[in-house]
């Protein structure tokens, strides 16, 4: 079996991508002939694989969820914040931040005080335990990401970073932020 036959095998993801591209070319006209099929499928697959690995090896061992880690990470990077600002920075809804905050407060990872500038709000902060947990989780996250990037040389990683940055500044990406929260099912988008 040649390399091309091996990659086109129906048992491989690469074969599935090739079959999807063939089907799109047959049935969807010009858009099916674009690179959108393989690029979209590969980006979604990589995102899912990396997210699952980070969750299993980085987040769950610390007793966190993705939502709680995102809240802790925003607080770790920026320091004390109001929940609305955490929602904005973490692309979460205010309700999701509120739910995560309750769990994190119960675990002793987050404390809250009344906002000095808005009597209707609070300010969230990481406790020393929250800082330690966030740093350990993020350390694992970065190590796993380095493993995923290891097939690429440093210059290739810089090229990838540049290309991803270009995609993130495209009109399609910009309509989802800043100031927009994307819920976990990605079914609704609303102001945070």
Q: Please tell me whether residues 117 and 99 are part of one structural domain.
A: yes
| CA atoms of 48 and 53, how far apart (whole Å) | 9
Phi-psi region of 179 (alpha: psi -120 to 50; beta: other; left: phi over 0): left
pLDDT digits (tens, 9 = 90+) for 95-145: 999 999 999 999 999 999 988 888 888 999 999 999 999 999 999 999 999
| CA atoms of 1 and 185, how far apart (whole Å) | 41
Per-residue confidence (pLDDT) for residue 191, from 0 to 100: 39
pTM of the model: 0.78
Q: Please tell me whether residues 8 and 93 are part of one structural domain.
A: no
Q: Please tell me whether residues 17 and 101 are part of one structural domain.
A: no
| CA atoms of 15 and 21, how far apart (whole Å) | 10
C-alpha 85: how far from its chain's center?
Answer: 18
The residue segments making up the domain with residue 165 are 39-184
Identify whether 190 is part of a domain. Answer: no
Task: Report yes or no: 60 and 144 within 8 Å, Cβ to Cβ.
Answer: no
Structural domains counted in the chain: 2
CATH number, domain of 127, equals 1.10.10.10
């Amino acid at each position: 079996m040649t390399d091309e036959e091996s990659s086109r095998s129906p048992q491989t993801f690469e074969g599935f991508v090739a079959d999807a591209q063939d089907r799109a070319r047959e049935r969807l006209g010009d858009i099916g002939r674009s690179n959108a099929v393989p690029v979209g499928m590969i980006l979604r697959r990589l995102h899912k694989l990396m997210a699952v690995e980070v969750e299993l090896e980085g987040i769950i061992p610390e007793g966190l969820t993705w939502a709680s880690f995102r809240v802790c990470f925003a607080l770790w990077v920026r320091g004390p914040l109001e929940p609305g600002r955490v929602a904005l920075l973490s692309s979460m809804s205010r309700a999701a931040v509120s739910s995560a905050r309750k769990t994190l407060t119960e675990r002793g990872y987050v404390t809250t005080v009344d906002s000095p500038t808005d009597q209707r709000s609070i300010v969230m902060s990481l406790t020393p335990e929250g800082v330690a947990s966030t740093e350990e989780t993020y350390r694992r996250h970065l190590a796993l990401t380095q493993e995923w990037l290891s097939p690429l040389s440093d210059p290739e990683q810089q090229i990838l970073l540049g290309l991803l940055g270009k995609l993130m500044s495209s009109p399609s990406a910009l309509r989802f932020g800043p100031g927009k929260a994307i819920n976990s099912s990605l079914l609704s988008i609303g102001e945070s």
